[in-house]
Amino acid sequence: MTYNFYDEYSIARNQFHNQQFPSEYLDDILVRLAYHSSAIEGNTISLPQTVSIILHNTVPERTSLRELFEVENHRGAFALMLEKVQENEELSISLVKDIHERLMDKLIVDRGRFKSNENAILGADFDTASPQETPFLMQQLIDNLNYRLVVSTTEGEQLEAILDSHIQFERIHPFSDGNGRTGRLVMNYSLLKEGFPPLVIQTEDKGQYLELLAEQNVRGLMKYALEQMAKEEKRQEQFIEKEKVQEHDLEL
């Protein structure tokens, strides 16, 4: 299936817009998620080019189709995330597969389906889950995360559960390709659903991030996440204030 990502995102953006998430801030999150998450995987499209692709539906010259789709597909996946957060939908296997299907549209034939062959993480000293183990391990991961979120009594416990599940997701590596991008969006789905700011893993922090994943260092990832999310809250406030000024000017 081919999606009209541009129109669907516009609808989801307008419906999700509220005081905490001004429309321009949603655009800002989407652009940065698409740019940094793609760059971590080796995509060479720049941040300004990502703005053109995501927000203006304009393709820069000499852009490879693969790199274009890797960036552009975040729009449809993010639209789906916003829709499901609004509906307060619990994370599920079907939602994870739907996010992957949109992220990998026009890129792989088995998008939205768990891997059927063994895969590996370049440079990793551990084996990813086998295709036979993957469905059970993914269901176990999601059930465990949902349970931990329900019984958590503090935001710290919720954040730890989400980040721990992200580490385990990447170790399972459930899809033939697109695991990093999918895992980071799934993580942000849970963060937004539980009321946290989004976590944009910076491409400049790729080495640190991959090391934390390899070491299964949940505490280290929490420290990194808290630092980035504190910056994100300040950025969010700037967009909120900007929208208030714009609304005030319209009333004059």
Tokens read off for 34: 């698409």
128 touches 183 (CB < 8 A): no
What pLDDT score does 10 carry? 85
Tokens read off for 193: 């659903």
Please give the DSSP secondary-structure letter assigned to residue 60.
P
Q: How far apart are CA 196 and CA 103, in angstroms?
A: 23
What pLDDT score does 220 carry? 98
Instruction: From 50, 147, 67, 144, select the one nearest 106 (Cα to Cα).
Output: 67
Q: What does the pLDDT profile of the chain (252 residues) look like in tens digits?
A: 445 666 788 888 888 877 678 999 999 999 999 999 999 999 999 999 999 999 999 999 999 999 999 999 999 999 999 999 999 999 999 999 999 999 999 999 999 999 999 997 877 777 899 999 999 999 999 999 999 999 999 999 999 999 999 999 999 999 999 999 999 999 999 999 999 999 999 999 999 999 999 999 999 999 999 999 999 999 999 999 998 887 766 665
Q: Find the angle CA(122)-CA(104)-CA(18) to the nearest 5 degrees.
A: 115
- Domains of the chain listed by start with CATH number: 5-251 (1.10.3290.10)
What pLDDT score does 1 carry? 47
What pLDDT score does 173 carry? 97
What pLDDT score does 81 carry? 96
Q: How far apart are CA 237 and CA 241, in angstroms?
A: 6
What pLDDT score does 250 carry? 65
Contacts with 51 (C-beta within 8 Å, 6 or more apart), sequence order: 31
Contacts with 25 (C-beta within 8 Å, 6 or more apart), sequence order: 235, 236, 239, 240
How many Cβ atoms sit within 10 Å of the Cβ of residue 202?
Answer: 16
What pLDDT score does 2 carry? 46
Q: How far apart are CA 117 and CA 72, in angstroms?
A: 27
Q: How far apart are CA 139 and CA 127, in angstroms?
A: 19
Alpha helices, DSSP H only, in the chain? 5-16, 23-40, 47-56, 65-86, 93-103, 134-151, 155-172, 179-193, 206-214, 218-251
